Amino acid sequence: MTILVSVLSTGKGTWGRVFALSRAFEWKKIILIGDSFVKQRFTPGPNDVFVEVDFSKEIIGLKKDIYEKVNEMIDYPEVALNICSGEGKIHAALISALLSCGCAIRFVELDNEGKVIEV
């Protein structure tokens, strides 16, 4: 099984897409990255790990924060990554942090039939 990593941020409808993806496959673990706004409005599921970070940090500080919080959680050589929610700075920091953890990344999304696909 694979670990799914995704951002929960602003963007109309993006949380629904992330949650649909999280239910479309049997993931080993689901790591969701969000800020305090998300933490106040999100209830993790039984397989979800919520990682709170400060999205207002500069990119280097954000990368360091993500890396320090997820490095020990990633015990597979690759992760499935979905970045349908969030913005470029957050995505860049997350991708850089994951690569610093030493894992490969597969970008994933749902197709029109609701199946998980690599993009």
| Residue 76 in tokens | 């597979």
**Angle made by CA atoms 78, 82, 83, in degrees to the nearest 5:** 130
3-state secondary structure of 97: helix
d(CA 103, CA 9): 23
- Tell me the CATH number at 73: 3.40.50.11700
3-state secondary structure of 64: helix
Our count of domains for the chain comes to: 1
Q: Report the DSSP pairing between strands 48-52 and 78-82.
A: unpaired
Domain residue limits at 66: 3-118
| Residue 71 in tokens | 């490095």
* pLDDT tens by residue, 35-90: 998 888 888 888 899 999 999 999 999 999 999 999 999 988 999 999 999 899 99
pLDDT of residue 1: 75
